[in-house]
Amino acid sequence: MKIKRQKKVQKILDFYKHNFGHFPPYQMLLDATFVKVCLEMQINIKEQMPKYIGQEVKILTTKCVIMESEKLGAELYGTTKILKQFPLHKCGHEDEPIPAWKCLRTMVQNNNAQRYFIVTQDEEKKKKVRKIP
């Protein structure tokens, strides 16, 4: 099972490499939903993400994502604490934080010039992000 999954990931990464210019280290922008699921499943993101991708990975988050998870209260306390461990990428919304999804979407607008991958567990957001190379 594991080998099949790794082959599928490599196939997808090769597609993005050849068609859109994504090269290692891959820049992953984390969403709070992904971190929450990893916390529930007791998965260490820093260790497992490079193993899953099979290449060098740069895991990032934005201030807007952290602010939104803090506003949601004690239910996401662990998620917020984990998000704060990752380097912050300047999104340009430091003065007036906007909702996390809008922030992440602005990071990949205009043909995703910085070559980010959005990492989320929300199905609706996944469908919208798949339309952006």
Extract the tokens encoding 129: 């992000």
With contact defined as beta carbons under 8 Å apart, do 34 and 79 qualify?
A: no
With contact defined as beta carbons under 8 Å apart, do 36 and 65 qualify?
A: no
Mean pLDDT, residues 5-26: 87
Closest CA to 59 of 36, 39, 89: 89
pTM for the whole structure: 0.84
Write the secondary structure of 62-110 as one string of H (helix), E (strand) and C (coil). Answer: CHHHHHHHHHCCHHHHHHHHHHCCCCECCCCCCCCCCCHHHHHHHHCHH
For the segment 48-102, what is each residue's pLDDT rounded down to a tens digit?
Answer: 998 888 889 999 998 888 888 888 888 888 998 999 999 988 888 777 888 888 8
Is 1 a residue whose pLDDT tops 70?
Answer: no
- In the chain, % of residues over pLDDT 70: 98
With contact defined as beta carbons under 8 Å apart, do 84 and 55 qualify?
A: no
